[in-house]
Amino acid sequence: MIASLATYVPPRLLTNADLEKMVETTDDWILQRTGIRERHIVDPGVATSDLGKEAAIKAIANAGLTPADIGLIIVGTVTPDMMFPSTACLIQHKIGARNAWGFDLSAACSAFTYSLTTACQFVASGAHEHVLVVGADVMSSIIDYKDRATCVIFGDGAGAVVVSAAQVGGPQILDFEHEVDGGGGGALCMPAGGSLKPASHETVDQRQHYVKQDGQTVFKFAVRKTEEIARRLMERNGLTAADIDLFVSHQANRRIIQAATEKLGVDPSKVIINIERYGNTTAATIPLALNDAVTSGRLKKGDLVVLASVGAGFTVGAVLLRWGF
Ligand code: UT7
């Protein structure tokens, strides 16, 4: 079960008004087409492990644990501090989780659902009692602030949960469903900086170390798959949209969430949308949305929750759970 949750966003705000001064865009266009008003971005020198550390320390304390109680750290991110060592190693050191091993999980915007499912397997098998899952991204480090089609969308942030063994009959992670469709790789990627195209003067001149996105292709895939995977998961568990207490989608675009949940028949009052304040923080959107649901009283112990995500890859994920605290 999810035993605790904490989030962290850097204090600095990047508003639509700020972006109007940087590229040819308007507050109105951004708000209408994406639902975003502002996003948080880091100051220079602040990395993904710094954001992840803040969320991790709070999540462990909120679970009534100490870092030494954590057996495994899984960090979902597409913006690791560096190619290696992994961000999980960096966070392990920064929080002093001396008994933990760990690794990074690369699934872009599905990183949180993938990491949660992975953590759940280690707890369900009895291998670990407490697993720390961190979803953290410094998207501002890979965004081209000259490209209006991508720079208005993304923000930085982190969320962390502790996944612990459930009491018999108590709240727990009930089921999951995941997919990849590798044929969609070209629609959303960062072309250079890996083994295919190592950094060179040419890759820098061609601005290939930034996110490139075919927005409409991703949009259509996200609407279709968010609905499809959530429906499959609910049907397999004998549930309809009316049985769900809260639907928490990855926050990529308000219109994607609204279109997918409308098709699913989920009442809008059960759908969390907080993209307005954070933008798309990639691996951190779902914990940030869960945190808003908890603090606003919309999510309580025992509630039936569906998480859903679609991201670069393409990666697709959904998790069904009863909220644990
Ligand atoms: O989390 C990972 C997954 N990512 C996503 O799920 C993102 C999915 N895609 C989207 O959210 C949307 O496709 C975008 C927000 C990226 C773009 O919205 P859209 O409604 O699909 O716009 P579009 O790409 O069809 O562009 C419409 C027009 C174009 O102008 P013309 O060709 O019609 O003259 C664009 O050049 O809007 C223009 N445009 C902008 N105008 C003002 C694109 N970006 C901007 C901008 N400000 N920032």
**Judgement on whether residues 136 and 155 belong to the same structural domain of the protein:** yes
Rounded distance from Cα 104 to ligand 1 centre (Å) = 30
Catalytic choice (89, 109, 120, 151): 109
**Judgement on whether residues 156 and 274 belong to the same structural domain of the protein:** no
Which of 149, 175, 173 lies closest to 24, judged by CA? 149
Low-confidence residues of the chain: pLDDT under 50: none
**Judgement on whether residues 160 and 192 belong to the same structural domain of the protein:** no
Nearest ligand 1 atom to the CA of 253 is 11
**Judgement on whether residues 243 and 211 belong to the same structural domain of the protein:** yes
- Summarised one tens digit per residue, pLDDT across range 67-106 is 999 999 999 999 999 999 999 999 999 999 999 999 999 9
Question: Which residue type does 222 have?
Answer: A
**Judgement on whether residues 158 and 10 belong to the same structural domain of the protein:** yes
Confidence (pLDDT) at 304: 98
Question: In this structure, which residue's CA is closest to atom 39 in ligand 1?
Answer: 149
**Judgement on whether residues 223 and 127 belong to the same structural domain of the protein:** no
CATH number, domain with residue 147: 3.40.47.10
Confidence (pLDDT) at 70: 98
**Judgement on whether residues 123 and 230 belong to the same structural domain of the protein:** no
Last residue of a domain, one of 120, 144, 164: 164
Rounded distance from Cα 276 to ligand 1 centre (Å) = 16
Residues in the chain: 325
Q: Residue 101 belongs to what domain range?
A: 2-164
Confidence (pLDDT) at 319: 98
Composition of the chain by helix, strand, coil, percent to 5: 40, 25, 35
Which of 141, 136, 99, 134 lies closest to 118, judged by CA? 134
Rounded to the nearest 10°, the torsion over CA 8, 42, 72, 128 is 20
At 201, give phi and psi (nearest 5°): -55, -40
Rounded distance from Cα 214 to ligand 1 centre (Å) = 9
**Judgement on whether residues 39 and 149 belong to the same structural domain of the protein:** yes
- Give the chain's domain count: 2
The whole model's pTM is what? Answer: 0.98
Confidence (pLDDT) at 169: 84
**Judgement on whether residues 10 and 149 belong to the same structural domain of the protein:** yes
**Judgement on whether residues 157 and 184 belong to the same structural domain of the protein:** no
Contacts of 121 (CB under 8 A, 6+ apart): none
Confidence (pLDDT) at 223: 98
* Rounded Cα–Cα distance for residues 97 and 91 (Å): 8
Does the beta carbon of 252 lie inside 6 Å of ligand 1? yes
- Summarised one tens digit per residue, pLDDT across range 100-136 is 999 999 999 999 999 999 999 999 999 999 999 999 9
